[in-house]
Chains A and B, each alone.
Chain A
Amino acid sequence: MNRNSEIFMLSAFIPSLLAIAIGLLKVGSPFSRRIFGLMAPFAMIVFFASYVDLVGHEDVSIIVPGFLEVRQIGAYCGILFNFIYCVVFLAFGDRVFLTRSSAYWLFVQLLVSLGLICENMEMFSLLLTAALVAHLKVSQVDVYQVSKKQDRFVVVVFCSILAVALSLVFFGLLRLSLGLETFSQLANSVSAMPRYLKIISSLLMMVSLGAFPLHFWVKPLFAAPARYGLAVITRLNIGFIVWCKLYPLIFSGDPLLDKILTYGCGANLLYAAFLLFGERRLSQIVSSLYLFHVPLLILAVKISGKESMPDFVLDFANITVAISGLLVILGMLRDRLGAENLDRSSGLGISYPFFGISFLVCVLSLVGFPGTLGFISSEVMLHHFAESTWPVAICFIITLALNGYSSFRIFGESFYGDPAKSYRKVFQPLGREKMAIVMVLVFLLASGIGPQVLTK
């Protein structure tokens, strides 16, 4: 056990708490705004550094063994979550730093970080409930009320309640029937678990991640207006932590569940590929790309097996970072154009190549193009699929081709073509926004050329 890592990890919460306190106490004072503006990204960076410190170690217990622990996969997720939070805070800093809601967003992210290191299942269930409720509350106030899109919000609320209910039922039943308390015990007793519990856990994972057919909330969530990439990213992070905690259940050894999982994911791949085909709204295009990658996350863990877990971390990194990059670009475009239909941004890439290039790189990474992180992750997954389940590999290849074409069509239609009048007054991207996007691009391209840094 590394004592320095523990101290470092705990100290990461201090700036975050301070930032939240300053944000909540006084918004009006210019001094507090500036302090908050500095503190919030600082908190993110400290979180980031603490997780990096933990990556090289085995599982680390913090304060109470069996209560707060960091696993390697948790450390990876922590790094990625905080990286993308840094990016989004940087891009939309001018708005979120001046509102009280930014403190709430930071609070939700704090709950997510706590969830990552929480080892006790009941405690995790409570944190998950708190994070989802806080997310709903802030979304309701901050996003949907402003845009008067309450009807969309109802679907998100329903799915969040379903996730909370499933988690409470699942962890409660685990305690009652098997007497399990911690996630490490869960990993060791998967084979002894009754089938109905496995089904409940699968449903919980599906609804948390938004896997087909429990993906109802994904599209309404991505329709969140304007710059609130934070709303989307925070909700996705909540889904990811559930997946990080429950992934050992994928190795259930139950042949029926295995088949359902594998072929269900194959169907999900095809569904998402065809969904992308006729889509014309930019936000829904990003949501379709996300839906395409959700089954890959599940399949990657299942097929790569416990021994080659680092392989699927590549895909996880690709999804989180590229989707975040697209959300930031989308937010920037929607802020400027006031709309998200492809026709409105026609010709944008000619006048503002920065938008075009960054969009193209993120999209190409999501469809596995050479030179990007997506290529490495898709190659790794295809390799594993080819070794184990050929039908899924063929599904994946078909969907990669379809998605590649759809993505290029979207790029061509939205950024090329006759310049539309609507963007002629579009402002150039701000320096801060550029920096945020460049961080994403550098990550995707650099790790595409030298992914050893991630896999080691």
Chain B
Amino acid sequence: MSGLVLSYIGKLIVLAPLASLLAIILDRAVRHEVRELFIKRCLSVSQVISITAGFLCCGAVVVTGNPIEVGALKLVSLSTQDLSFALRIDSISAFFVLISCVLGGVVGLFASRYLHRDPGYFRFFILYHIFLIGVHGIFQGAGLPTVYIGWELIGITSALLISFFAFRKQTVANSLRAFWAYRITDSGILVATLLAMHHGIENFRGDWKGHPHPVILFACLLSAVGKSAQFPFGRWLPKAMEGPTPSSAIFYGGLSVHAGMYLMLRASEVYGLPTSVAISMVVVGVFSVWYATIVGRIQSDAKSMLAYASMAQVGLMFIEVGFGLNKLAIFHFVSHAMLRTYQLLNAASVLHDRYAFEHVLGREKVSFNPVHGSRAFSQYAYAFWESIDGAFGRLSLLALVEYLSRRCRSFEERFGEVILSWIRHVMFYIRHPLKGASITSHKITSGDAGRRGEDKI
């Protein structure tokens, strides 16, 4: 496909959620009621378009290695230069864009069922769409001004979603705490943007390694530390779990929490990473990992544990970027974002799953209501699906993350092991579904989140 066609397709990644947002607002304004089905359809269509466009563009970038200039919207002409909202997909941003498209769609569809009949349904999806636009602004931004716009959009939507259950006083207080951290650290990216514009090096197209300005990178680091909840600004992250589970999953498991790492990754590629900044990154990462690991072990609820686990993993990514292992950091991001989103989405239903499996196995008499079809078929189907799901989530992805973060064995060896183990499990479950369910049930309920936090979920 030619560059022009790809740039048009690339526009769809941002325009699809924008159109969906406008359609939802218009529908609400015209009909004076919230139509869940309409919102769900808008979201589905927009996300299918977005994911398809994301796959096409990112695939083209990965295969050909040529960046795609998606487009630019000129906001205002300044006396010396223009301020634009410009988008671009290159080899660094391709994976981030792809993951944000996929997770955006999956979590959106999850949320459309999860928040069924919730009074804040409309509010959630408005903020969710704005968040998606902000995320694409960050990951596709062709320059620091665009990244800054996305950065601020994510900040405000994050704060508003933390206080989603706004009638609770504690939720509002937690939201304010998160916003406080955001506002203080966002000054960094503002300073970096201004400085970069002052020197004419604000866009990511050029190679500005010959003109490094340490203040730009330190300012970026300040913002990255705040957004990725790293030491010493990380205390807001566990408190941010007050929001609805889907928003926690996509913000603090999937995308938002990695925005800081992405910014540093991008800055290191464009401006180079002076030793002082690299050392600072490593120090921040080490402290964050140390702090999050220690504090995370004494948490009594699953979501807080997962929040600290995210903080630790992102700390590791900071260390990787600090050491110049950028490709490893991208790979780490992909696996961590997928796994953490899965865990956070699953956190609320671990107990439910456990009871369901126990009922299937006949160990305890816990009520279980099949939704569709005959009782026996539903239960077997459910158990089988959960087995596959659990095996995939807990074994393959967790193993990848563990490999990246804790063990030093070679990638090929571990990856092969994981694939083989996964295939072995699938074959085992297909042959013996009930035994498979039993094993998976045991693993789920005795896993990290389940073992320590099941009573509090």
Q: Which residues of A contact B (CB under 8 A)?
A: 304, 307-308, 311, 314, 347, 349-350, 353, 364, 369-371, 375-376, 379-380, 382-384, 386-387, 393-394, 397-398, 400-402, 404-405, 408-409, 412-413, 416-419, 449, 451-452, 455
Contacts and interface: CB of A to CB of B under 8 A. Distances in A.
A369 B152 contact: yes
A372 to B, nearest CB: 10
A311 B78 contact: yes
B78 A417 contact: no
B457 interface: no
B176 A408 contact: yes
15 contacts: A311-B78, A314-B76, A371-B153, A379-B76, A382-B194, A383-B83, A386-B197, A394-B191, A401-B184, A402-B183, A416-B172, A417-B167, A417-B172, A419-B167, A455-B77
Given A401-B187, A408-B159, A408-B179, 8 more contacts: A376-B75, A380-B76, A394-B191, A398-B187, A412-B172, A416-B163, A417-B169, A455-B76
Interface in B46-99: 74-80, 83
A387 B80 CA distance: 10
Contacts of B163: 412, 416
Contacts of B148: 370
Contacts of B156: 364, 369, 408
Contact of A418 (B77, B159, B169, B176): B169
Nearest to B149: A370
Contacts of A386: 194-195, 197-198
Contacts of A402: 183
A143 B152 CA distance: 40
Nearest to A307: B79
Nearest to A376: B76
Contacts of B184: 401, 405
Given A397-B190, A408-B159, A412-B172, A383 B197 contact: yes
- Most chain A beta-carbon contacts within 10 A, residue among B80, B163, B168: B163
A43 B187 CA distance: 45
Contacts of B187: 397-398, 400-401
A369 B157 CA distance: 12
A449 B76 CA distance: 9
Nearest to B81: A383
Contacts of A455: 76-77
Nearest to B123: A353
A314 B76 CA distance: 10
B186 interface: yes
Interface of B: 74-80, 83, 123, 145, 148-149, 152-153, 156, 159, 163, 166-169, 172, 175-176, 179-180, 183-184, 186-187, 190-191, 194-195, 197-198
Top 7 A-B residue pairs of the complex, sorted by shortest distance between their CB atoms: A416-B166, A370-B149, A308-B79, A405-B183, A386-B194, A412-B172, A401-B183
A419 B156 CA distance: 23
Contacts of B159: 408
A251 to B, nearest CB: 16
Contacts of B176: 405, 408-409, 412
A319 to B, nearest CB: 17
- Most chain B beta-carbon contacts within 10 A, residue among A307, A400, A413, A417: A417
Contacts of A384: 79
B78 A383 contact: yes
Contact of B183 (A371, A383, A404, A452): A404
Contact of B191 (A379, A397, A419): A397
B172 A393 contact: no
The majority secondary structure among interface residues of chain B is helix
Contacts of B76: 314, 376, 379-380, 451-452, 455
A370 B78 contact: no
Contacts of B145: 379
Contacts of B123: 353
Nearest to B77: A455
A349 B149 CA distance: 26
Contacts of B74: 452
Contacts of A304: 79
Nearest to A377: B76
Contacts of B83: 376, 379-380, 383
Given A416-B163, A416-B166, A311 B172 contact: no
A76 to B, nearest CB: 16
Contacts of A451: 75-76
Given A370-B148, A397-B187, A405 B179 contact: yes
A428 to B, nearest CB: 12
Given A370-B152, A412-B172, A383 B166 contact: no
Nearest to B164: A416
A104 B317 CA distance: 66
A393 B194 contact: yes
Contacts of A401: 183-184, 186-187
A382 B190 CA distance: 9
A398 B191 CA distance: 10
A412 B175 contact: yes
Contacts of B153: 370-371
Contacts of A376: 75-76, 83
Nearest to A451: B76
B186 to A, nearest CB: 7
A387 B79 CA distance: 11
B193 to A, nearest CB: 9
A347 B171 CA distance: 13
Contacts of B80: 383, 387
Nearest to A367: B183
A411 B168 CA distance: 15
B165 to A, nearest CB: 10
A375 B145 CA distance: 11
Given A417-B166, A455-B77, A383 B194 contact: yes
A108 to B, nearest CB: 34
Contacts of B197: 383, 386
Contacts of B75: 376, 449, 451
Contacts of A379: 76, 83, 145
Contacts of B198: 386-387
Contacts of B149: 370-371, 375
A353 B119 CA distance: 12
Nearest to A385: B194
A383 B76 CA distance: 12
Contacts of A413: 172
A428 B74 CA distance: 39
A419 B145 CA distance: 39
Contacts of A370: 148-149, 152-153
A380 B194 contact: no
Nearest to B120: A350
Contacts of A311: 78-79
